[in-house]
Chains A and B, each alone.
Chain A
């Protein structure tokens, strides 16, 4: 067990307790031991002065791709978890679309064990809905959960067959785990590589209409209503999907939704020049969509922020736009992008942002995270909310560099990340 840590004089923000004041925080035995003013440092304690910095519950990302097993040249569970620590994330949910996919209990156990061994963050596996992500046959959802899966998803693909989806959601409800939905109508998106609109038309690239997401989100909400299952909509990108989620919530459907930092900050204009680092699915949309998604996050129609961290090797991205894979990395830029866009941009204050990056996602997946209450796991991020830094992908801990934010100035720099009371990232030496 690591020695106790006393974080002195930081601005402790914990939305789970509606806490926002200058306090000391004592971490011992992997848990939050105490918080208050003028705490005494016990014997053998490491006392750190964090005045001027924010101390918050470690960030929680329900949506990352760690590529292991199968594509370890892009990312491993260890490198992804290290990147998470650098970005202030202490709990991450690993999507099952690896090679082979995480569709049996042994694979779930492997991801958990590799995460524990790496030790940089709590790595929670998401199990597949269908065997081989083929959308045909249901996985052993109970076994996956027993082995440590915290949700089910075929992310990267929708569950196209509504019959299978309704059975899976109905069945999963017995285990109180959510279905994480990649909502896409493949018939409407077929062949598309970017948002459909004036930019796709001028670039001669095949478009993915908003309707590909809207119709699928509507279908998923209706199936959730039918089954009573817990639905979490991944990466909302359209104003139409926002309205559908809003209406479903108003009807009492058990649905939550997330948005990514890139869909909150970039439009399809970022694709101009055939920039493959701006190619992801769902694609970057119009300014009207960005505004609607952002407003929905502020209102609470969209509950949480997740990165959809999707590492790709530079060779996979350094090619013709049509052939480049979808996805960008996000763990190490999320906080900096969100503080810049949402806090500096005047849409959220810091406690509201931390709520959406930590407390709410923890609640959605039922994770022991997102709180600094006494006795909770000592997962903590310490960051400087004012610090401006330039995104330099070559400095990433992730094995991949595919980000549209390269060279941009971001605001809010992680100074320290602690997992179960242990320092897993120490950025105090960084500029």
Chain B
């Protein structure tokens, strides 16, 4: 028995998705993983589709991951970044989008520094819009790839205890993780300096640990967030040294845990600040696995928003094989 799961025009966040939609994206990502392992990494699923990667903020990992996903599905892609485009000439987001639209595109992947920007764009153009990170709001494909990685290694998500550690206040990754994981039945907590924990976070269904030792005692999975160096200049924490001493994830801390803890990090890492190298490169780290899964998740999202049917994902990836 298969239920038909419908997707809207856009993916702007996980908050608005149903359990079935999230599960379907994770399931569809499974067959797409294999494409990246082939010598010829290409299937014609999105042949003829034009996708614009519109990046108002610098990004390496996410942009490259989307670009690989698009190219491996045979889409034509164009990259636009904040510098070196009409954006620096003061063109508004909506005008930039309309101009792209006039060139007959099919999808826009947008990264923007302002919360709500992806939704703003999605409401104004008929193309599919995929949020690749909007301000401090959501980064849904990162949330999905984190969930896929947890599912791969823990055998499921429901009932798992996941703690997100670090700068929750400014983190779109934290919000997408919270929305997605709680929907799929995980127990979610956050931990960090109180200056970096936003007010009212409990109302999103998470518990708060003020001390990382308590988080380690409790968790089966730690998702360790990058500490932006600007946060120190803005006075949220006194120094990186102090942050590392009280909130850094070290081998010594993890050894006190009553169990092995799966370690995730969305990157890029500040080694020696939020995470020590021995942890990042250690046996329980799945940080590079996240990166690999990121491509599969983005292929799944592109495929589903383009109207691909979940049931045909396995067949779609075989189309190129003769």
Interface of A toward B, CB cutoff 8 Å? 196-207, 209, 273-274, 315, 318-323
Partner of B199 from the list A201, A318, A319, A321 (CB cut-off 8 Å) is: A201
What is the minimal beta-carbon distance from A310 to any residue of chain B, in angstroms?
Answer: 21
Q: Are A322 and B200 touching (Cβ within 8 A)?
A: no
Partner of A274 from B15, B119, B172 at Cβ < 8 Å: B119
Nearest chain-A residue to B115 (Cβ)? A204
Q: Shortest Cβ distance from A358 into chain B, in angstroms?
A: 39
Residues of B within 8 A of A321 (CB): 114-116, 120
Please measure, in the bound complex, the distance between the C-alpha atom of A273 and the C-alpha atom of B120, giving whole angstroms: 9
Asked if A204 meets B134 with Cβ closer than 8 Å, knowing A198-B204, A274-B115, A321-B114, the reply is: yes
The 0/1 profile, CB within 8 Å of A marked 1, for residues 189-207 of chain B is: 0000000001111011000
CB distance from B88 to the nearest CB of A (A): 15
Q: Are B200 and A203 in contact (CB under 8 A)?
A: no
A-B contact pairs, 24 of them (CB 8 A): A196-B199, A196-B200, A198-B200, A199-B200, A200-B200, A201-B198, A201-B199, A201-B200, A201-B203, A201-B204, A203-B116, A204-B136, A204-B137, A205-B115, A205-B136, A273-B119, A274-B115, A274-B119, A274-B120, A319-B92, A319-B94, A322-B114, A322-B135, A323-B114
- Chain B residues with Cβ below 8 Å from A318 are 94
Contact A319 B203 (CB under 8 A): no
| Whole-angstrom distance between the Cβ of A198 and the nearest chain B Cβ | 3
Q: How distant is the Cα of A202 from the Cα of B175 in the complex, in angstroms?
A: 7
| Number of A-B residue pairs at CB separation under 8 A | 70
User: Which residues of A are found within 8 Å of B117, using beta-carbon distances?
Assistant: 320
Interface residue ranges of B163-204 to A (CB < 8 Å):
172, 175, 198-201, 203-204
The residue on A at minimum CB distance from B197 is: A201
Contacts of A319 in B (CB 8 A): 92-94, 120
Binding site for A on B (CB under 8 A): 15, 92-94, 112-117, 119-120, 134-138, 172, 175, 198-201, 203-204
Measured between beta carbons, the chain B residues less than 8 angstroms from A204 are: 115-116, 134-138, 172, 175
Instruction: Report the minimum CB–CB distance from B44 to chain A (whole Å).
Output: 36
Distance (whole angstroms) from the CB of A269 to the closest CB of chain B: 12
A4 to B135 CA separation, bound complex (whole angstroms) = 61
Q: Which residues of A contact B201 (CB under 8 A)?
A: 201
* Least Cβ–Cβ distance between B27 and chain A, in angstroms: 27
Q: Is A202 a contact partner of B114 (Cβ separation < 8 A)?
A: no
Query: Closest B-chain residue to A323, C-beta based?
Result: B114
A197 contacts B94, C-beta separation under 8 Å = no
CA of A197 to CA of B203, assembled, Å: 9
Nearest Cβ on chain B to A251's Cβ, whole angstroms: 31
Q: Are A203 and B115 in contact (CB under 8 A)?
A: yes
User: Which chain B residue has the least Cβ–Cβ distance from A315?
Assistant: B92
Across the A-B interface, give the 8 residue pairs with the lowest CB-CB distance, nearest first: A204-B137, A274-B116, A198-B200, A204-B136, A320-B114, A198-B203, A204-B115, A201-B198
| A320-B116 in contact given A198-B203, A202-B15 (Cβ < 8 Å) | yes
B114: chain A residues at CB < 8 Å are: 320-323
Find the B residue at minimum CB distance from A204: B137
Q: In the docked arrangement, what's the CA distance between A421 and B203, Å?
A: 56
Q: Are B138 and A320 in contact (CB under 8 A)?
A: no
B137 nearest CB neighbor, chain A only: A204
* Chain A residues, Cβ within 8 Å of B204: 198, 201-202
B136 CB, nearest partner CB in chain A, Å? 4
Name the B residues within 8 Å of A206 (CB-CB).
Answer: 136
In the assembled complex, which residues on chain A have CB atoms less than 8 Å from the CB atom of B92? 315, 319
- State A323–B90 Cα separation when bound (angstroms): 13
CA A171 – CA B93 in complex, angstroms? 48
Residues of A within 8 A of B120 (CB): 274, 319-321
A274 and B120 alpha carbons, distance in the complex (Å): 8
* Complex alpha-carbon distance, A241 and B261, angstroms: 47
* A199: B residues at CB distance < 8 A: 200
- Given known A201-B204, A319-B94, A320-B120, contact A207–B199 (CB-CB < 8 A): yes
CB pair A200 B112 closer than 8 Å: no
- B residues less than 8 Å from A207 (CB atoms): 198-199
Query: Which residues of the other chain, A, contact B136 by a CB distance below 8 angstroms?
Result: 204-206
Contact call A209/B199, Cβ cutoff below 8 A? yes
* Bound Cα distance A205, B203 (Å): 16
A322 to B93 CA separation, bound complex (whole angstroms): 13
Question: Which residues of A lie under 8 Å from residue B94 when comparing CB positions?
Answer: 318-319
Besides the known contacts A196-B199, A207-B199, 11 further A-B residue pairs in the complex with CB atoms under 8 A apart: A200-B199, A202-B200, A203-B116, A203-B137, A204-B136, A206-B136, A207-B198, A319-B92, A320-B112, A321-B116, A323-B114
Chain A residue contacts of B200, Cβ below 8 A: 196-202
Report chain A residues within 8 Å CB of B119: 273-274
A320 to B115, CA, bound (A): 8
Q: Taking CB as reference atom, which chain B residue is nearest A318?
A: B94
Q: In whole angstroms, how far apart are the Cα atoms of A202 and B137 in the complex? A: 7
Bound CA span A323–B120, Å: 12
B231 to chain A, nearest CB (A): 13
CB distance from A410 to the nearest CB of B (A): 26
| Distance between Cα atoms of A198 and B199 in the complex (Å) | 7
Q: How far is the CA of A323 from the CA of B135 in the complex (A)?
A: 12
Q: Which residue of A lies closest to B92 (CB)?
A: A319
- CB neighbours (8 Å) of A322 from chain B are 113-115, 135
Tell me which of B15, B138, B172, B198 contacts A200 (CB under 8 A): B198
Chain B residues with Cβ below 8 Å from A320 are 93, 112, 114, 116-117, 120
Instruction: Return chain A residues, CB-CB under 8 Å to B137.
Output: 203-205
Residues of B close to A315: CB separation below 8 A: 92
Specify which chain B residues have a CB less than 8 angstroms from the CB of A203 in the assembled complex. Answer: 115-116, 137
